[in-house]
Amino acid sequence: MKKIKLLFAIFAAALLLPSCTNDGGTSTIDLKVGAVPNITKTAGTDNFINLISLGKGGSFNLGLTVAVAQGEVSSMDIVGSYTKGTTVSRAIMKANVTTFPANLNFTTNDLIAAFTVLNSKSDFGLGDKFTVSAILTLKDGSILKLLNDDGTANYGADIANSNKYTLLQSYPVSCPSDLGGTYSVISSGMSTDSGPAPSKNPITNYPYEVTITDNGGGSYTLSDGYAGLYQLWYDIYSITRDYPGKFTDVCGTLSGSYIEPFSANVKLTGTVNADGTLSIRWENDYGDYGNSVFTKI
């Protein structure tokens, strides 16, 4: 299945010329479009929305720098998405930004004013999330949206897996978190693909080493989102390096989503255990999965 998709992707790439259609931002953004932003958190500002602090009457200041990573960008609308349960609300936080890099700040009052689901500090709830992305207007008039209206990604695997820029920033409503470090990982899992050798699939107690990078505010990046299992199974398809994954820690509950090398979606769930280990499960749209225990080295 994945072999066919990989061959199709290579064939399609050979046929496509760099282009972008002015469709109002409904097409999935790929590197062939040639324009992406770089949105980074400002040092010294809040990395997450501290629910404990809000409960004591505190407030937050979310600082961002928005730059053009590549491409001919005329302007950007900075879009905020607030997720509460299954409801995703969207608002333009700053319209028609034309000077880059742009330094922006969003406060507690800014979010309350922007989203109808928030009327006061007491409406911020554990597990809520504020995400900042952008709508790009290119110099040729094309319009590119990074996120769809339901909060899902509107870009391809090449952009999602790049380490050269950050397309969006998320601020979970959470508790303080400290999970960064290097971990020894033991994984068991199964691939639905017919390619891996029987000795590799299914696999039990496969060892690997993963670094978890603390991005601040309970947001983390895994150096390899599959703890070595993709390389074990799919070296036959030239998967021979780490592919990062991302997750968020909300008071000990881990969750995340990212795009794997064959462009399928991956969902991550997990917990922080009482002994400090992490139990993490990932599963992709094909049905491949891995269950891992992370022990900090």
For the residues of 227-243, what is the DSSP string, one character each?
TTHHHHHHGGGT--S--
Domain of 223: which CATH number? 2.40.128
Distance CA 257, CA 38 (A): 20
169 and 50 co-located in one domain: yes
Residue 125 placed within a domain: yes
84 and 52 co-located in one domain: yes
Q: What pLDDT score was predicted for residue 34?
A: 66
pLDDT(18) > 90: no
41 and 169 co-located in one domain: yes
Q: How many CA atoms lie within 13 A of 179 on its CB side?
A: 34
Query: End of a domain among 174, 209, 231?
Result: 174
Residue 257 placed within a domain: yes
Residue 161 placed within a domain: yes
Average of per-residue pLDDT values in the chain? 88
- Which sign, positive or negative, has the C-alpha torsion 246, 176, 151, 138? negative
Query: End of a domain among 143, 174, 205?
Result: 174
Residue 67 placed within a domain: yes
Q: What pLDDT score was predicted for residue 209?
A: 98
φ and ψ at 8, to 5 degrees?
Answer: -65, -40
Residue 29 placed within a domain: no
145 and 167 co-located in one domain: yes
CB atoms inside a 10 Å sphere around CB 40: 16
Residues 6+ apart with CB under 8 A from 22: 140, 141, 142, 143
Residue 5 placed within a domain: no
How many structural domains does the chain have? 2
User: 69: domain range?
Assistant: 36-174
Query: End of a domain among 142, 174, 206?
Result: 174
40 and 141 co-located in one domain: yes
Residue 77 placed within a domain: yes
Q: Which residues pair with 253 in a beta bridge?
A: 250, 271
> Taking a C-beta distance cutoff of 8 angstroms, is the pair 145, 170 a contact?
no
Distance CA 41, CA 103 (A): 10
H/E stretch holding 296 reads strand 289-296
Indicate the burial class of 51 (C-beta count within 10 angstroms; 0-12, 13-18, 19 or more).
buried
pLDDT(197) > 90: yes
Residue 12 placed within a domain: no
249 and 139 co-located in one domain: no
Per the model's pLDDT, the better-predicted residue between 221 and 157 turns out to be 221
φ and ψ at 168, to 5 degrees?
Answer: -155, 165
Q: What pLDDT score was predicted for residue 154?
A: 81
Q: What is the pTM of this model?
A: 0.59
Q: What is the mean pLDDT of residues 253-277?
A: 95
- Which sign, positive or negative, has the C-alpha torsion 147, 153, 154, 158? positive
Condensed to tens digits (0 to 9), the pLDDT of residues 154-183 reads: 887 777 777 788 899 999 898 888 999 999
pLDDT(264) > 60: yes
H/E stretch holding 114 reads helix 108-114
Integer angstrom CA distances of residue 110 from 76, 92, 239: 19, 11, 44
Distance CA 50, CA 271 (A): 20
Q: What pLDDT score was predicted for residue 176?
A: 83
Q: What pLDDT score was predicted for residue 164?
A: 82
